[in-house]
Structure 1
């Protein structure tokens, strides 16, 4: 078996509309067309080929923390991302610099999923 790349990340969310506002308006992810499944959901573009799939009707709470289950999105500038999040009144942890020089900060979506925003150090 040869793994070619990551296709999508799927998150089970309580309220698809609330999550769509977060991922579309806070993280500026472009919405995608979604097949007509028989359950609520939405899709967003994460990168050139990667996607985020939101699946609705979650009932249980999400219990997460930055050192636990999370996914990371690469941004051009963590300080600029932090400034934009502040303007949008979105709480975050960081920014902080890792021992390898990479900057990161962490946010939570409306369901409590942890998302790392990171940038690669200049080469």
Structure 2
């Protein structure tokens, strides 16, 4: 078997409307309207040219309690400085930018459900 690429990241969220506002309006991700008529609520957003973020409605537990960023997903941005300015302009709290040991800059942002999203410039 040969894996071609990652297709999507799925996040189980408490309130899909709140998550849609965060990812769609705040982060300005483009909604992907190709989502089939599943028997549960949700929304899809584009992450680059072929990958997507799937928000799945129905989570009932509390926010993820760990402050660890070990469980996260990452997206590549063209400019970490532009990303930082964008997030600051939106009034969002985030960690970074900081450099990995190999010199790659990273910013971490927590969503309304406690999931960590990494922005990196490769």
Pair in the same fold by TM > 0.5: yes
Q: 2:4 is matched with which residue? A: 4
Q: 1:28 is matched with which residue? A: 28
Q: CA deviation at 1:21?
A: 1.0
Secondary structure (helix, strand or coil) at the match of 2:36 reads coil
Question: Quick one: distance in 1 between partners of 2:75 and 2:57?
Answer: 22
Aligned residues: 120
Could you list the per-position Cα deviations for residues 20-52 of structure 1 after superposition, in whole angstroms to 9, with x for gaps in the alignment? 111112222110111111111000111111111
Q: 2:46 is matched with which residue? A: 45
Question: Quick one: distance in 2 between partners of 1:27 and 1:70?
Answer: 17
Secondary structure (helix, strand or coil) at the match of 2:21 reads helix
Question: Quick one: distance in 2 between partners of 1:69 and 1:7?
Answer: 18
Question: Quick one: distance in 1 between partners of 2:49 and 2:67?
Answer: 28
Q: CA deviation at 1:106?
A: 0.3
Secondary structure (helix, strand or coil) at the match of 1:11 reads strand
Unaligned runs of 5+ in 1: none
Q: CA deviation at 1:66?
A: 4.7
Question: Quick one: distance in 2 between partners of 1:43 and 1:63?
Answer: 25
2:73 to 71, 74, 86: 71
Secondary structure (helix, strand or coil) at the match of 2:29 reads coil
